[in-house]
Structure 1
Amino acid sequence: MANPRPFLAPLSRIGASSIAIPRAEIIRPSILPYQTLRCASQKSAAPKKKKKTRNTFLQYDLKHAEQFALVDAMQYIRAFEVGRNPASSKYEMHVRLRTLKNGPVIRNRLRLPHPVKTDVRICVIAPPGSKAAEEARAAGAVLVGEDEVFNQIKEGIVEFERCICHIDSLAKLNKAGLGRVLGPKGLMPSTKTGTVVNNVGVTVRNMVGASEYRERMGVIRMAVGQLAFTPEEMQKNVKAFMDTLKKDIAQMQDRISKEIHEVVLSSTNSPGFTLNGEFKNANSIPVKELSGPL
């Protein structure tokens, strides 16, 4: 019988580590965290309620806002405009209204006691050779006629800032189809804006030096003076603008409610200063110091 020791010796050399399964290959059941376990009977979260949209413009409380007299506001504005040409920078009024977002807006034209811009180019659409055409040229219109004017506008040549149409030429103007060119520029004559008239001469004379204003996003902006204007000249212009604006608001009371919330004076290169309605106060500088050069 063969001795079994030679066979047992090689088997003894095989250790337990050589037949063990690697740890990486051991499959273990994964344990899901508690947060990922959900019950089928759990109700879904309720949808969030939509916030109601505002139908009015957001207004700020002016009780704690610093407000200035006209002379003081002009003093600070002129400090921001030092070194600039007084004729190039202008005083601007910003009137914030309490009004609805969707509603009729204020739009008008005003000739200030001291005009800000006197080189306005006006176009008049009137029959050539008519009395209206002669009155328009005498009043200072730079372009007068019908077919020639229509052809220039269709070619894209619009070298004027105002456009007036005589009532006899209204049908011909509508037939020419110039609304696509003049409409986006705000130059299309219409009866609502008072640019379709019978008396062309008077309208042109009133437009020379006149300023237009229109409500946008609850705010009305208009240039009310040049930096070279004296405080007295500015006071007359501001008063004329505010009086006309109050009349516009009164005429719209039957359709929509509008109220003046804030009046701000600024310039081309300065921030705005809220006005308190006073001309000057006890601590204001002498008016003469604001009447000279910057």
Structure 2
Amino acid sequence: MSTARPCLAQLSRICLYSNRPGITSVPARSLSTTAAVAARGPNAPKILSKADKGLRKASTNPQKNKKKGEEVKKKKKARTAYKQYDQRELEQFTLLDAMRYIRAFEVGQKPTSVKYEMAVRFKSQKNGPVVRNRLRLPHPVKTDVRICVICPPDSKYAEQAKSAGASLVGEEEIFEAVKDGKIEFDRCICQTDSLDKMNKAGLGRVLGPRGLMPSTKLGTVVKDPAAVLKDLVGGAEYRERMGVVRMAIGQLGFTPEEMQRNIKTFIDHIKKDLAHLSDRINKELSEVVLSSTNSPGFPLSGQFTKLDSSITSRDLSTS
């Protein structure tokens, strides 16, 4: 209450001066700011009120000044499905025509060094499950695969694995070679009895980044390695990436009939994978493209040859 007394006294003094006759000015300079502003000079900045400050901010921000009827542009939504092209605008080729053009690009190459590659595109969502599997083609593309089998060296599984074509069989010797960086195999299988030893050896740091670490999910930790070796020798893996599955489907020296059987097996296998997906997931085949190591891709029409085609299967059967 001590701070309010001078104010009340000052107001009472002002009222007394205003009621007296002949007094035209009121000594209320202590309540006015004009004297302080005048003392700063004519170029002094103006003191703005809160209302003036609000108007100035509104004039510098045109986004907030828009009328209610105006629509603000919305950000583009992220694409949930992979982009598809109109197949009607693309030229499609029969199998014989595609092989003919590809061989023209591969003139002078060795028939076994160049591979036919097939790319299968899906109509698929980006966040959906991917197609991934392994199959053995009727005419294997690569038969010189080196397979390592981790199992007890004195067991019956070791003898069966060697007779089935395994290049390396054992436990401790393989563990030491892998730790030293000597990885002389393309596939690795582990027998269930050796799984604990393999995990204790810590091979995942070396084999994991290379995609060679055995796991039950990939079907490379098995009870009978010899039975799996029959499928691995000449077999191939495929995996969907960005809505496309790619896999080597043949060698340059394959005949059109051999290529036809491999392509049919590959497409039928993919259709089975699609059938095993959930009913809620919509994934369909969109395009099949055949290419090679040095050639562009040729979309296939699904036909073996045209009726009026001048090229025959016999013309492409010679390498």
Name the TM-score, length of structure 1 as normaliser.
0.83
Select the residue among 84, 88, 96 that pairs with 1:71: 96
Specify the alignment match of 1:282 in structure 2.
307
Measured in 2, the distance between the counterparts of 1:222 and 1:68 equals 19
Unaligned runs of at least 5 residues, structure 1: 1-38
Specify the alignment match of 1:121 in structure 2.
146
Measured in 2, the distance between the counterparts of 1:256 and 1:194 equals 25
Q: Deviations over 1:237-287 (max 9, x none)?
A: 000111111111111234733211110000001000001111111233111
Specify the alignment match of 2:108 in structure 1.
83
Are 1:199 and 2:217 matched, yes or no? no
The residue identity in structure 2 corresponding to 1:151 is E
The residue identity in structure 2 corresponding to 1:112 is L
Measured in 2, the distance between the counterparts of 1:162 and 1:268 equals 23
Are 1:188 and 2:213 matched, yes or no? yes
Measured in 1, the distance between the counterparts of 2:273 and 2:209 equals 24
Measured in 2, the distance between the counterparts of 1:237 and 1:99 equals 24
CA 1:53/1:272 → structure 2, altered by over 3 Å: closer, same or farther? same
Q: Pairwise CA RMSD of aligned residues?
A: 1.5
Select the residue among 122, 125, 134 that pairs with 1:97: 122
Are 1:138 and 2:163 matched, yes or no? yes
Are 1:224 and 2:224 matched, yes or no? no
The count of corresponding residues between Structure 1 and Structure 2 is 255
Q: Deviations over 1:195-245 (max 9, x none)?
A: 111121111122111111111111110001011100000000000111111
The residue identity in structure 2 corresponding to 1:211 is A
Select the residue among 56, 63, 75 that pairs with 1:45: 63
Specify the alignment match of 1:292 in structure 2.
318
Percent identity (aligned): 63
Structure of higher CA gyration radius: 2
CA 1:103/1:154 → structure 2, altered by over 3 Å: closer, same or farther? farther
Measured in 2, the distance between the counterparts of 1:148 and 1:243 equals 41
Select the residue among 79, 87, 96 that pairs with 1:54: 79
The residue identity in structure 1 corresponding to 2:142 is K
Measured in 2, the distance between the counterparts of 1:131 and 1:137 equals 10
Of structures 1 and 2, the one scoring higher in RCO (CA 8 A, sep 6+) is 1
Q: CA deviation at 1:45?
A: 2.8
